[in-house]
A and B are shown apart, each in its own frame.
Chain A
Amino acid sequence: MQPLTIEDVAAINDGLIESAPGRLLLNIARQGARYEYQLVSELTRWLPSQLPERYGRTWIAALLDWSRARGDIERDRRNRFSCLPPYLIGEVQNGAPSALILCGDPRIENTIRHEMTPLGIAIEHKLVLGRVRGDALEDDAAVEMPLGIERVVRARAGMRTPIEEAFARLGVTILRPDDLADSLPSLDLLVPMAAEHPPQLLGIWERYDPTILTDTRWLGVSEWSNSPAGLVRWRPSSDWQGERIARVFYHHGNGEVAELSHETASLWQLQLDRAADNTRVCWSAGTTFYVPGILPTAVFQWLRLLAGPIGPARFQRGWFVAPLDATNLSRAHDILSSLYGLRPQDGSPPQFSVGGRKNRR
């Protein structure tokens, strides 16, 4: 036992940072529903105390978003994250080796390795790096940081039935890629029946104005109970952290509200946009496809699948960015346009232009 050298400590730091995405997922899986601040706290306690400032909560928020879009975790109405049970996306081929995307609870991996190695099953991990841009990282945006772990189950050819049976025995569901597209949520929303007076919350109340032409359509209001606003939201502070833990309510128009989950709230925003004939834009610059970050999570998971198995698709500056080939781009345009009324436009969103970045500052 002895104090470690500076070189040893640097190597340990690097190792811990690289394994942080996996640790975060494991923490969520083991501990059940966790608030973001709890996860931030647990991960920062697990990491050394003196890391560069960039490995802070902006980074951890990016890790959570990445895992959510991948279908590993989901967020409940109270903004707690919980891990989904393990499941696979893909099809086991008989005539060729198969690659299935492993999503959800990572604890299944030990069992798969233990029980399915004789069947030629192997689990492949790939650390995905990306740039995280937050308020504290303006000058550090060029540094690539771990974003998440892609997990792929590889199976050799000719073992379809035993592999499918083995996964069924383990309780691991296999979803077909087409199922993801076929089950994207639609906008046939029904007005929630629950109606109650809004909770007395200290912070900022905003109403959703679908007629605003910019992407941010929430307007701060002191009094909204007599307004015809369809959606209102509360957040404890005006910064990005407050936005992440905002609560959204359906407003019945008489001051009574019904709280919505984030997924339902995002669909309502899109429905109101469409009713106001002010649908949002999805951009495509070459093969890069940008969709608004408010879309339901299922859309991001599907786009990630279209973009390729080793996750190049991710959130950036409030957008979900996915590189798609021409065929998939056209398909994505068609489906997102028919489901959510998104208007395709060439180019990249203003936030990605030099002027846009300056403006954000």
Chain B
Amino acid sequence: MIQAVEREHWQLWQRRIRELLDLPVDAPLTKADLPRPWFLIPPGNELADDEADDLCAAVRRHLLCTGSAPSVSTIINRLKNLNSEDSLPLLYAMRHVARTDGSIGRYWPAFREQITGNGVSLRDVQFRLAPELAQLWLRLYVRSGGALYYPREGKRNIKWPLVHAGLLPQDEDALCHFGHSIISQSGPDRASAPLGADDLDQFLLLLTAWLDQSHYATVRLAQLLRKHDGTAEAVGEFAQRWLRSQWQDLAAGVTNTQSSRLLLRSPRLVYDDAENQLVLQLPGGRVPGKVAPSFIWDNQTCNLAARYLPAEKATEYDPYRIPLQRDSWEQGATLVADQITYPLAVPRPPTASGNASLVFDASNGQLTRGWRLGGEYFVLIHPGRSLTEADSRALFRHCTPLESPGWGWQNYRLFAVETIAPDTNSARGLEGIERLEKATERLGLPDFAHLWRPRLRLVGGDRLPSAGDVPTYSATDRPYVEIVGHWRQTLPLRVLNRATPDDALVTLPIPPSSGSPLFVEVWPHPVVTSGQAQRIAFNETARQDIIFADPPRSETPSRLALTLSIELGDTRDRREALSLNDLLHGRLVVEAWPHAQLRLALCGGDTQLTLPVEADATGCWQSRWGDLGVKLPSSGPLTATLSWRGLVRSALSFADQPFLTRADLRTDCVHIHGSYHVRVTGSVTNPGSLRTGWAILLGSRPWAGQIRRQSFTIERQGYFSADLAATAFYPRWAAVGPSVTLGQKQPWQPWQIVNVSDLPITTAPPSDEAHGNNWDEWLQLLPQLRACDLPQHLHELVHSSYIEHLISLLPKIASTEPQWITINNMGIAERLAANLRAGNHLDMILIGHRLYKPRLLTPSRPYLAPQSLAALADALEHGGDIRLLCARPSGDTWLSSVLSITVDRAKENCRLSIVAREPLAICKKCGLVLPQYEFDHHHPIAPGDSTCTGERATFTAYGKGQIVPAHLALPFVPDDPAMVAQSLLAECLRVAGELDAEPTPASAPWLRDLWLALAHDDPDASPPTAFSALRDAHRELFAYVAAGTASSRWPHERRARFVRTTARYYPALIVFYRWLRHELELIDAASHH
């Protein structure tokens, strides 16, 4: 009986609450057309006190079942089983408790008393029932299709009843007067008032200050706003919402607004992704009067740039930025203008917000208190929290870890995220919302609050760059509109002109959706209203603005080109006449394309390095020389070459001596006395005392009479001009350089060589046949040309001329059988010595007479030979005695007799004899010297002479102590260039490699010339390295010659190696081959002596 009464009582309250909430009786929530927000401010009167007590009693009985003492678990089970429709009396009762007695700090004791009748302990209420009650609110939110007001601020368990308590009449009265105060100061424009979500701190600061100074200081609203446990934010957000909804009426009620309006915006916390730093940004604003405003915060006073606006009678100040170097700061700031202080609220630091993590809107970097599903943000996670994989998956569609901001933020973790879309499975339903709420709570992040709002996205189309937040699209390539989210009624999608938002251009009913996106082609045809802003919107719940613009006719991209110049004082773009002093005091300036990744190579003197250069967003880069940290060469010139991958480049030269840049040189075709001339004009930088120079015109076959020379005078300022007749051949290149004064060691070297083949010369001979022989003149020019940067074809011409010249110097490579000779002059003796030192082992025998011409010998044992080749080499150069051995078939034996070598450098000869210390014999037929006891074993030494044997031949005998005439015979081919070259190189390496090595007198002058040539081309190379490189170059050239015509089929890399190896040593190779020829001539002379 009692239970039936209670059930009827409960049902009575069900109907009553539905009536209060304007919800038809028996209509399920899912079918009801609920206003949004629903439940927040009931349209009817509030409950009277006795009525409210009855409601609480009904709820108590329903939950606790009077007469018994249920366990907390039983109550929780009942709460869990309560459906949303049935929960309305309970939730309304919770709202009532909050309205009459609740703040966060006092709510649960009041709830315990009024709803549970103190039947449950406070601890159980706070920690076990409260989460279940919060679930009831969430369930109602989901059941109503998001019609419930979703409080973003405040603690999860308490914020729902707190904000749904609404405002008391006194609170509304206070807010009404506060609104009037704002409007009178700032004007009726709602955008000027601090009513946005991100203005909450400033709003609370102003409202509490105003309340404290008014007679509303004791109203419930004022008391709630003094609570620092989250109540102030939850109620403040609600108060902002109330003011926004009442704004038009409030503005209409204010007649006396100040003539000069105040426009203050609170400082914003901004993440500057370009600089990767956090910044406190004071937005620009306006204060009444003509004043000099300053911003005071955190013990810093900053004077703001400002200007007076006479029409407004106000001063407008500029935005101001302060980098945030730590994660704690003062929350109070002030703007001071003419002794008037305006309070400003600085966002709370994470350390003062319970280790909160921070969220910044990716579009503008501003700290935001709430975020949207499917939006992009930077998230700065507090060091005390960690982003787990599960939370990341629950909250974000994309999450990219980034480098933490510097300074005091280095322990925070920064992520670029895109929040999940509302239609994703993880966000669906009650569980989805719970999951999101718990994840954000764990991370100290704002709640998701817009799950149930349909969201409009612009998909595809050609989005053009634009300055504002409204996206601009090409009028001819328009986006589609994608609608995502959940909505239960047919929604009117309206397309409006932003200028006339009350008149819809088109309206399209969009059917209900439970998650699957819908696509609409809103603009099927090109939009003719270019420049006009349009808006697509579902009432006020979702909207998207868009601007259409004409498609860009031609967007001009940057050029793949770069310039290196030097800035000196006010002069910009100087590229010529640059001294090292200019470099030292100037500023290097690079102009390329935006963000170009370049390399700056500095080359000159002992400076050889490459620096990376990164152009800025305008394509520029600049630096003072001193800031590069590079040592200036002690003497010039220095070349700075800027390049992109070596493919595009720009260079500057700096020198304190005369020089000419390519830019300073000009060539023209002129007609003088009926014939065409090439006129070369230019301006020499730093001419000093230099007054003359040379201009040279070259044809495609310079050695064939196609060289013209012309001297010119250099004026004091450096200007010069020369005319070169272009009558005998087509001119291809012009070279310009200084004259060399007598006694100057530096060879003539062109400053510049330019291509002149494109000059309009039409009267030159029709063919390029040879007209003379300038080979020697051309050869003289080669060393000078190769030291310069050459046009490609001239470079190839110089190379091929060098190769031709070198080959002409090379003796013919013969492949004859080794011929035997006897040593009798110093040239051959020294060469043999070098050869022996190079490790070449040669057969040799001692014979009693000289071979007058090379012969083919085939000696067989026994015979006499020097015992040590090294000792022989020494003796051949300096004279001396060396021991002998007898090479026998059964093995070598040493003799007591010695070979004595006498060197006569004056007569350029060397004489050999044997001092006999045992009986010796000389064959009267072939001259072979042998110990007498070996003569019986004598074999012929010449092929075909079978008669010269120990049995048939006779000998001349020499006793102990006698001097035996002797000659050293060996198969030393005197005119084999390869062998001679090898012996010369061995000599070079010997002298270069040994500390005390002395060159032989014959090789000394050649070695000196060689070393000069090598050192000129590679001053840093050590002698062993340089001579080794010369040897390699010689081998390459020999291989090239040996390959003959096959070299034309060499693969690219092989040919490149040949050129690379030889090109560096042309002059040294020329010296070397002259030496080789000289040696061969000596050999030839000796052999014919």
Contact = CB atoms under 8 A, between A and B. Distances in A.
Interface of A: 1-4, 8-9, 12, 15-16, 29-33, 35-38, 40-41, 44-50, 56-57, 74, 76-77, 80, 82-87, 104-105, 107-108, 110-111, 114, 171-173, 175, 179-180, 182-183, 185, 190, 193-194, 199-203, 234, 236-237, 241-242, 245, 247, 260-261, 263-264, 298, 331, 334-335, 338
A114 B406 contact: no
Interface in B655-677: none
A335 B593 contact: no
Contacts of A105: 557-558
A41 B595 contact: no
A16 B459 contact: yes
A49 B423 contact: yes
A1 B460 contact: no
A57 B416 CA distance: 13
* Interchain residue pairs A-B with the least CB separation, the first 10: A183-B646, A105-B557, A171-B559, A82-B595, A236-B401, A107-B555, A37-B416, A37-B400, A85-B560, A237-B401
Given A4-B519, A50-B517, A35 B560 contact: no
Nearest to B463: A46
15 contacts: A1-B521, A3-B510, A4-B520, A16-B460, A31-B465, A33-B595, A35-B273, A41-B398, A74-B597, A77-B614, A86-B557, A173-B559, A193-B609, A201-B410, A261-B612
Given A32-B595, A37-B400, A74-B597, A104 B557 contact: yes
B614 A76 contact: yes
Contacts, number: 189
B400 A201 contact: no
A143 B283 CA distance: 50
Nearest to B457: A49
A46 B597 contact: no
A338 B512 CA distance: 67
B436 interface: no
Nearest to B506: A1
Contacts of A2: 508, 520-521
A241 B401 contact: yes
B482 A48 contact: yes
Nearest to B557: A105
Q: Which one of B413, B521, B630, B647 has the highest number of Cβ atoms from chain A below 10 Å of its Cβ?
A: B647
Interface string B755-773: 0000000000000000000
Given A30-B555, A85-B558, A202-B412, 19 more contacts: A1-B522, A1-B524, A2-B521, A3-B511, A4-B521, A12-B480, A36-B400, A44-B397, A48-B459, A48-B519, A50-B517, A82-B595, A110-B554, A201-B410, A203-B401, A236-B402, A241-B401, A298-B645, A338-B1053
Contact of A84 (B402, B480, B560): B560
B460 A46 contact: yes
Contacts of B376: 41, 45
B554 A4 contact: no
B594 A87 contact: no
- Provide the main secondary structure of the chain A interface: mixed
Contacts of A49: 374, 421, 423, 457, 459, 482, 484, 517
Contact of B519 (A12, A35, A202): A12
A50 B595 contact: no
B609 A190 contact: yes
Contacts of B235: none
Interface of B: 273, 362, 374, 376, 397-398, 400-404, 406, 410-413, 416, 418, 421, 423, 457, 459-461, 463-465, 480, 482, 484, 495, 506, 508, 510-511, 516-522, 524, 552-561, 593-595, 597, 608-610, 612, 614, 617, 629-630, 645-648, 1052-1053
B403 A245 contact: yes
A331 B1053 contact: yes
Nearest to A261: B612
Nearest to B1053: A334
A199 B411 CA distance: 12
B517 A48 contact: yes
Contacts of A260: 612
Contacts of A32: 594-595, 617
Given A1-B520, A85-B558, A111-B554, A201 B403 contact: yes
A37 B418 CA distance: 10
A12 B460 contact: yes
A148 B511 CA distance: 38
Contact of A86 (B560, B646, B1052): B560
B400 A40 contact: yes
Given A171-B559, A190-B610, A193-B629, A185 B645 contact: yes
Contacts of B457: 45, 49
A124 to B, nearest CB: 20
Nearest to B612: A261
B614 A50 contact: no
A85 B645 contact: no
Given A4-B520, A110-B555, A47 B645 contact: no
